[in-house]
Amino acid sequence: MKKPADDFLGGEGFGDMDFGFDEEKAQPVAEQKTAEMSEVLKQFLARGKEERKTFEENVDSEYWVAVCFQSREQKEAFLQLAGWLQFGDKYFDGLEIAEHMKIKIGHLTPPVRKVVKAKDWNEFV
């Protein structure tokens, strides 16, 4: 059987050496690259959805409460009696207050992506 390199090497070729090239199974390069880019695009879109969800969670404004009194004296008396004055007098870390009150609330830690120097387009996703 004539090998692809035979013509290039003046008919001598590489003898009986088989490099595993099968023309029937080989895809044209354009098809291979299109398939690779389609996969990369799918992964970028999936990552974009993930990042959008994280962004929405980070800028959600419905994670705070406000407590209002008729006077500063009432507010300070409440904070003193509730044991919250040690945390401030206006803005509080809700997790610190919950811990102080022995209320267990899970701590959310946003996912952090590891930065990798890519050698190939597929590594970017």
- What is the percentage of the chain residues whose pLDDT exceeds 70? 64
Return the C-alpha torsion angle 89, 95, 99, 101, nearest 10.
50
What predicted TM-score, i.e. pTM, was given to this entire model?
Answer: 0.43
Mean pLDDT of the chain: 78
**Which amino acid, residue 106?**
G
Q: Which two tokens stand for residue 36?
A: 């690779």
Per-residue pLDDT for 115 more than 80?
no
pLDDT digits (tens, 9 = 90+) for 68-87: 999 999 999 999 999 999 99
The pLDDT, as a whole number, for residue 122 is: 65
The domain ranges of the chain are: 27-124
- Residue pair 76/89 in contact by the 8 Å Cβ criterion: yes
